[in-house]
Amino acid sequence: PLSSTPSHSVTHTAAHSTYPYWNAKSDTGYCGLSNQGATCYLNSLLQTLYMTPEFRSALYNWSFESFCRDSFQELRTKQQDEKSSNEKELSENDNNQNNAITDDLEEKYQLYKLRKEETCIPRQLQKLFLKLNTSDKRSCDT
Q: Output the pLDDT for position 97.
A: 55
- The residue type at 138: R
Q: Residue 41 in contact with residue 142, Cβ under 8 Å?
A: no
Q: What is the pLDDT of residue 1?
A: 45
68 exposed, middle or buried (CB, 10 Å; 0-12, 13-18, 19+)?
buried
Give the Å distances, CA to CA, from 66 to 32, 69, 70, 119.
30, 5, 6, 16
pLDDT tens digits for range 37-86: 888 899 999 999 999 999 999 999 999 999 999 998 988 888 888 777 76
In the prediction, which pLDDT does 8 show?
Answer: 43
92 or 10: which leads in pLDDT: 92
- What's the pLDDT at 5? 42
* pLDDT of amino acid 30: 86
What tens digit of pLDDT does each residue of 74-128 get?
A: 888 888 887 777 665 555 555 555 555 555 788 888 888 888 898 999 999 999 9
Provide the whole-model pTM.
Answer: 0.65
